[in-house]
Amino acid sequence: MFDVAGELERALQAGQRVGVVTVVAVHGSAPRAIGSAMAVTAAGEVIGAISGGCVESEAHELAGAALEGRAAPSSTLGLSDDDALAAGLACGGHLTVVASVLRPADAGVREQLRSASRGEAAALDVALDDGGVSVPPGPMSLDTRLEEGVLHLVRPPAPRLIIVGAVDFSSALATAARPLGYRITVVDARPAFATAVRHPHAHEVIRAWPGEYLAGTVVGPRDAICVLTHEERFDIPALVSALATDAAYVGAMGSRRTDARRRELLREAGVEPESLARLRSPIGLDLGAVTPAETAVSIVAEIVAGQSRAPRLSETSGPIHARA
């Protein structure tokens, strides 16, 4: 449900009731995770999705029925893998879902949706017996889980993506990364470049020396830092500060010659070998990218891949969607 929090809150703000179908269990090869939701507003607008397309019609009908008060709270959508193959369908699996109705008067629920849409921590409980959605009475759970007839939905604070350098590649990276759920900051000391107009998909644009900003801001273990200025007076202080954080990803743009010189300057600046080994430079996966948009795809692909080798799916076997 938190994956469409902003759209849900906008519909509620407009005074509409919303029927919501939320995934509470996944069986087989269904692609979406627990907590994913599809909704239908009283005006007929469809929000979100709960599969790759196979059961959207069923979910749409169920959300509409919830609005009309004729839906069973808990349902199973889709087919088993074996049944799907027998029927000639492209994918199998099935989902256990719960149907709920959100109302404009649900102030507590709306506040949690607003928090999630702002990238802040949020939590909601969805009762399987009647589809009721409420704010948890106690401390927030650590993660989304099904327990004693209640789906505890938890959205931790959004990870940050700090982009050093307000250049064209930075704007493209902000555009590519925002749908992944990052809270995006672009930082640059040059007033002519560090403008919100040039970076419309960043949540904030900071005019400051990047090294000083990174040394003074909070960076957590889920965050990413991408240094794209390609200019030593910005790059070196920024990377010294970035590599001193717990960021999950630190990358820097530049040629192999630039990378070699940069690493030598970082060693001279006192960066230890184990810290320097964390640096992903040249930045991105080798996708043959040339344009800013293509380069942005290569960078977000490397961030998503993390420490994995990210082989092609067409060259591997086994499950496509990893399950915890």
pLDDT the model gives residue 83 = 46
> Which residue ranges form the domains of the chain, and what is each CATH number?
2-155 (no CATH), 160-305 (3.40.50.720)
The bridge status of strand 249-252 relative to strand 224-227 is parallel
Instruction: Enumerate residues 6+ apart whose C-beta is below 8 A from 119.
Output: 157, 158, 181, 183, 203
Collapsed DSSP state (helix, strand, coil) of residue 80: coil
**In 96-204, where does DSSP find H-type helix?**
107-117, 168-177
pLDDT the model gives residue 315 = 73
pLDDT the model gives residue 211 = 96
* pTM, to two decimals: 0.80
pLDDT (tens place) for every residue of the chain, 324 residues total: 998 999 999 999 999 999 999 998 887 655 668 888 999 999 999 998 887 666 778 888 889 999 998 877 777 776 444 444 333 334 556 788 899 999 999 999 999 999 999 889 999 999 999 999 999 987 777 788 888 899 999 999 999 999 999 999 999 999 999 999 899 999 999 999 999 999 999 999 999 999 999 999 999 999 999 999 988 999 999 999 999 999 999 999 999 999 999 999 999 999 999 999 999 999 999 999 999 999 999 999 999 998 777 677 677 777 665 554
pLDDT the model gives residue 95 = 81
Q: Residue for token digits 């990210």?
A: 310
d(CA 248, CA 189): 25
Closest CA to 259 of 223, 294, 284, 290: 284
The bridge status of strand 279-280 relative to strand 249-252 is parallel
d(CA 10, CA 24): 24
Decide: 223 and 161 in contact? Cβ < 8 Å.
yes
Burial environment of residue 250 by CB neighbours within 10 A (0 to 12, 13 to 18, 19 or more): buried
Neighbours of 267 (CB within 10 A): 12
pLDDT the model gives residue 279 = 96
Decide: 279 and 239 in contact? Cβ < 8 Å.
yes
Q: Dump strand ranges (E) for the chain.
A: 18-27, 37-41, 46-48, 74-78, 94-102, 122-127, 133-134, 145-147, 150-155, 160-164, 183-188, 204-207, 224-227, 249-252, 279-280
